[in-house]
Chains A and B, each alone.
Chain A
Amino acid sequence: AQKITQTQPGMFVQEKEAVTLDCTYDTSDQSYGLFWYKQPSSGEMIFLIYQGSYDEQNATEGRYSLNFQKARKSANLVISASQLGDSAMYFCAMRELRDTPLVFGKGTRLSVIA
C-alpha cells in the first residue's frame, strides 16, 4: 500500500502568491514524523519542515508552513510569497516509529511564474 500520496504531478504559481502542495499519508502507528523536502535540478534534497505526530501546533519555518490535519491524515505544505527560486520538485515523506527509513511520495514539480 502506498504510504505517501502526492496527487499533483505539477503546479504553477504566480510570483508573490501563496501555493499549497498536497500530501496524504497512511499509517496505523501513533508515533511518526512528516517531512517536506525541496529538490532543485542540482539533485540535493533540502530539508524544509518537520511535523511530529504529537505536535499540537502546525510547524512553520519562515515562508513554509505545514497544514497538519491528523484525522484526515494530510500534511500539506504551504509556501507563502512564492519566489522564482522556489521552482523545484517537492517531496513529502514520512518516518514511522524510531529508526525506520523515510518513505517518500512521488513528488510535485512546482513552477513559479514571473
Chain B
Amino acid sequence: DAGVTQSPTHLIKTRGQQVTLRCSPKSGHDTVSWYQQALGQGPQFIFQYYEEEERQRGNFPDRFSGHQFPNYSSELNVNALLLGDSALYLCASSLGQGVTEAFFGQGTRLTVV
C-alpha cells in the first residue's frame, strides 16, 4: 500500500519564478491538504481539496493556488516566488468524512534565491 508521495523532493527557484509541486495521496484517500513549514516552525495550513474543489483555505495569498485531479492527486502552484516562500511543503491525505488521521508525504523542500 503506497503512502503519500510528493515530487520533487528538493528544488531551487529564483525570486519571481513560478513553481508546481505534486502530491499523490495514500490509496483510498480522497482529500488532500497542503501545508507550509518554515524552518523551526510547525506546519501551516495552505488549502484543502476534496472532489476536485478547494474546500478550505488558510491565510495565504492568491499567489498560492492548487488543483485536484479525478484520481485525487493534487498540485500546488506558487507564482511570483518570494524569498519568504522558502520552506518545506507538505502534502497530507485523508478520508473526507469525519475526524480521521491524516498521513503526510516526505515533503518538498523549496529554496528561493
Contact = CB atoms under 8 A, between A and B. Distances in A.
Tell whether A and B belong to one assembly.
yes
Interface of A: 4, 31-33, 35, 37, 42-47, 50, 52, 91, 93, 95-107
B45 A101 contact: yes
Interface stretch (B12-20, B62-70, B96-104): B96-104
B31 interface: yes
Given A44-B104, A98-B98, A104-B42, 15 more contacts: A31-B99, A33-B99, A35-B101, A43-B90, A44-B106, A45-B90, A50-B101, A93-B42, A99-B48, A99-B55, A99-B97, A101-B33, A104-B43, A106-B41, A106-B42
B107 interface: yes
B88 interface: yes
Nearest to A29: B99
Interface string B12-41: 000000000000000000010101000001
| Most B-side CB within 10 Å, residue of A93, A99, A105, A106 | A99
A45 B88 CA distance: 11
Contact of A105 (B31, B42, B48): B42
Contacts, number: 69
Nearest to A97: B99
A49 to B, nearest CB: 9
Given A45-B90, A99-B31, A100-B56, A33 B45 contact: no
A37 B90 CA distance: 13
Given A42-B106, A43-B106, A47-B104, A98 B42 contact: no
Given A101-B58, A103-B45, A52 B104 contact: no
A102 B99 contact: no
A33 B92 contact: no
B72 interface: no
Nearest to A94: B99
